[in-house]
Structure 1
Amino acid sequence: MKTTTQRRVLKAALLAGAGLCIAGAAQAADPMVKACAKDGQFIIGFSQANNAEPYRQHVNDELTAAAKEVPGFTLQIADGAGNVNTQTSQVDNFITQKVDILLISPFEAAPLTPAVKRAMDAGIPVIELDRKTVGDPGKDYTAFIGGDNYKIAMEAGKYTAKTLLPDGGEAAVLEGLPSSTPAVERLNGFKDGVKENAKIQVVAEQAADWVPDKAQTAFAAMLQAHPDIKVLYASNDMMAAGALLAAKGAGKDVKIIGTDGLPGPAGGIEAVARGDWAATFTYPTGAKEAIEMSKKILLDCATSVEPTVTVDTTAITPENAKALAGK
Structure 2
Amino acid sequence: MRFQARSTLAAVCAVALLGTGCGTTSINAGSAGGPDPEEICEGPTEDYTIGVSQANVAEPYRVRMNTDIRRAAAEVEQFDEVQFLDAAQDNSRQVSQIRTLITKQVDLLIVSPNEAAPLTGVVSRAYNSGIPVVVLDREINGDSYSTFIGADNEKIGRKAGEHFADRLLPDGGKVVELRGLSGSTPAAERGKGFRAGIRGSGIEIIASADGQWLRAEAQSKMDAILKAHPRVDAVYGHNDPMAEGAHLAARSAGRASGTEFVGIDGLPIPSGGIKAVQRGRLSATFVYPTGGEEAITAAKKMLIDCEPVPAKQTLPTRLVTPENAAKVYRRLNSR
What TM-score, normalized to structure 2?
A: 0.84
The 1:76/1:277 distance shift into structure 2, 3 A limit, reads: same
SS at match of 1:229: coil
Could you say which residue in structure 1 is the equivalent of 2:323?
A: 319
Could you say which residue in structure 2 is the equivalent of 1:305?
A: 309
Task: Decide whether the 8 Å contact of 1:147 with 1:312 is kept in 2.
Answer: yes
AA of the residue aligned to 2:149: I
**Quick one: which of 262, 266, 282 aligns to 1:257?**
262
User: Which consecutive unaligned segments of at least 5 residues does structure 2 have?
Assistant: 1-24, 30-35
- Cα distance in 1 for residues equivalent to 2:151 and 2:39: 27
Deviation of residue 122 (structure 1)?
Answer: 1.2
**What per-residue deviation string (whole Å, max 9, x for no partner) do you get for residues 231-257 of structure 1?**
100011111111001111222231000
AA of the residue aligned to 2:212: D
Could you say which residue in structure 2 is the equivalent of 1:94?
A: 101
Could you say which residue in structure 1 is the equivalent of 2:280?
A: 275
Task: Decide whether the 8 Å contact of 1:117 with 1:141 is kept in 2.
Answer: yes
SS at match of 1:299: helix
- Cα distance in 2 for residues equivalent to 1:141 and 1:189: 25
Residues paired across the two proteins, number:
295
Could you say which residue in structure 2 is the equivalent of 1:296?
A: 301
- Cα distance in 2 for residues equivalent to 1:92 and 1:165: 48
AA of the residue aligned to 1:273: Q
SS at match of 1:264: coil
SS at match of 1:131: coil
- Cα distance in 2 for residues equivalent to 1:285 and 1:76: 18
**What per-residue deviation string (whole Å, max 9, x for no partner) do you get for residues 65-103 of structure 1?**
111111201321111122112211111111111111101
Give the 4+ runs in structure 1 shifted more than 4 A.
none
Deviation of residue 205 (structure 1)?
Answer: 1.0
The 1:169/1:123 distance shift into structure 2, 3 A limit, reads: same
Does residue 151 of the first structure (1) align with residue 155 of the second (2)? yes
SS at match of 2:275: helix
User: Which consecutive unaligned segments of at least 5 residues does structure 1 have?
Assistant: 1-23
Greater C-alpha Rg: 1
* Aligned 1:124-273 pairs, distance under 5 A: 124-136=131-143, 140-195=144-199, 197-252=200-255, 253=257, 254-273=259-278
* Aligned 1:41-120 pairs, distance under 5 A: 41-73=47-79, 74-120=81-127
SS at match of 1:266: coil
RMSD of aligned C-alpha atoms?
1.6
Task: Decide whether the 8 Å contact of 1:33 with 1:301 is kept in 2.
Answer: no
- Cα distance in 2 for residues equivalent to 1:110 and 1:290: 22
Once the two structures are overlaid, the 10-residue window that deviates more, 220-229 or 276-285, is 220-229
Deviation of residue 38 (structure 1)?
Answer: 2.4
- Cα distance in 1 for residues equivalent to 2:225 and 2:123: 38
Deviation of residue 198 (structure 1)?
Answer: 2.4
What TM-score, normalized to structure 1?
A: 0.86
Deviation of residue 228 (structure 1)?
Answer: 2.0
- Cα distance in 2 for residues equivalent to 1:214 and 1:35: 44
**What per-residue deviation string (whole Å, max 9, x for no partner) do you get for residues 111-133 of structure 1?**
11111121112100111000111
Task: Decide whether the 8 Å contact of 1:273 with 1:325 is kept in 2.
Answer: no
Deviation of residue 223 (structure 1)?
Answer: 2.2
Deviation of residue 225 (structure 1)?
Answer: 2.5
Could you say which residue in structure 2 is the equivalent of 1:121?
A: 128
- Cα distance in 1 for residues equivalent to 2:40 and 2:247: 52
